[in-house]
């Protein structure tokens, strides 16, 4: 039976790139996000390069009932995933915390923390029962180095890091691996989402810097998964060449 990966946030950015990278290694895929149209395009892109089975599923990770329904169907249809990639996440706004909108606060918490926790909770028991699998959680350098205007986002990504560490302790007697991937500046739709669709403001984030690409991160994810049983890569921090810590980026070296 072919191995398969369950990937959240798979319709764009790092999630999409990870789907392509794992398909190239022969993994069947369950790709999940809120946007079915984009998922269908990802499936077409994957199937154009690899002979694997791709199953798109609509999943809003802020809805516990939907998480339960989607994961239970995946378990019934395909069994425990060999790889779970928790990529779904977002940032909202870049204002001081006192000015942050309550709706933005809750959306980041519901997506980045509760959603990741609940998807993992739904799939982990089957992985434990089978005694194998790899959980890859997408954190951020923001979880290591806080920066102005991002208190909630940074806290949510710090939670991803410590949650991963806690799960790794809980499954220490199994063959399950847990990896936290913590990227720095990656040029995706991330900033457009953060600024509620303000494309000009989002483009300014990446102006003058050679940012990481989604494919850079996907390659690292694929590498961590592709290790022998004895090797568990617990944490990977990946920054652009002109990035120091978190939000400290030189904007004079883009080529």
Catalytic residues: 153, 157
How many other C-beta atoms are found inside a 10 Å radius of the C-beta of residue 199?
11
The pair of structure tokens assigned to 191 is: 């900033």
Between helix 36-47 and helix 13-24 the angle, nearest 10°, is 30
Write the burial class of residue 9 (CB in 10 Å: 0-12 exposed, 13-18 middle, 19+ buried).
buried
Please give the DSSP secondary-structure letter assigned to residue 141: G
The pair of structure tokens assigned to 167 is: 């799960």
Strands (E), 90-234: 133-138, 176-183
How many other C-beta atoms are found inside a 10 Å radius of the C-beta of residue 63?
15
Looking at the DSSP assignment, which residues form a beta bridge with residue 5?
29, 83
- Residue 221: enclosing H or E segment and its boundaries? helix 214-225
Question: Using an 8 Å Cβ cutoff, are 59 and 70 in contact?
Answer: yes
């Amino acid at each position: 039976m072919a191995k398969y990966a369950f990937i959240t946030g798979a319709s764009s950015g790092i999630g999409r790139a990870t789907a392509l990278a794992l398909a190239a290694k022969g993994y069947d895929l369950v790709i999940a996000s809120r946007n079915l149209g984009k998922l269908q395009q990802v499936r077409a892109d994957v199937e154009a390069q690899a002979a694997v089975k791709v199953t798109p599923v609509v999943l809003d990770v802020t809805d516990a009932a939907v998480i339960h329904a989607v994961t239970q169907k995946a378990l019934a249809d395909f069994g425990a995933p060999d790889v779970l990639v928790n990529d779904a996440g977002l940032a909202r706004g870049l204002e001081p915390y006192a000015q942050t909108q309550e709706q933005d606060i809750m959306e980041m918490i519901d997506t980045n923390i509760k959603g990741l926790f609940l998807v993992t909770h739904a799939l982990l028991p089957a992985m434990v029962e089978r005694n194998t699998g790899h959980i890859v959680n997408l954190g951020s350098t923001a979880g290591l180095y806080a920066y102005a205007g991002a208190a909630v986002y940074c806290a949510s990504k710090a939670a991803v890091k410590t949650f991963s560490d806690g799960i790794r302790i809980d499954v220490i007697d199994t063959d399950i691996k847990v990896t936290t991937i913590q990227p720095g500046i990656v040029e995706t739709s991330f900033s457009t989402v953060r600024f509620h669709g303000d494309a000009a403001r989002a483009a300014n984030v990446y102006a003058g810097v050679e940012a990481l690409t989604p494919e850079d991160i996907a390659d690292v994810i694929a590498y961590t998964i592709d290790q022998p049983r004895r090797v568990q890569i617990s944490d990977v921090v990946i920054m652009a060449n002109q990035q120091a810590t978190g939000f400290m980026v030189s904007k004079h070296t883009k080529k």
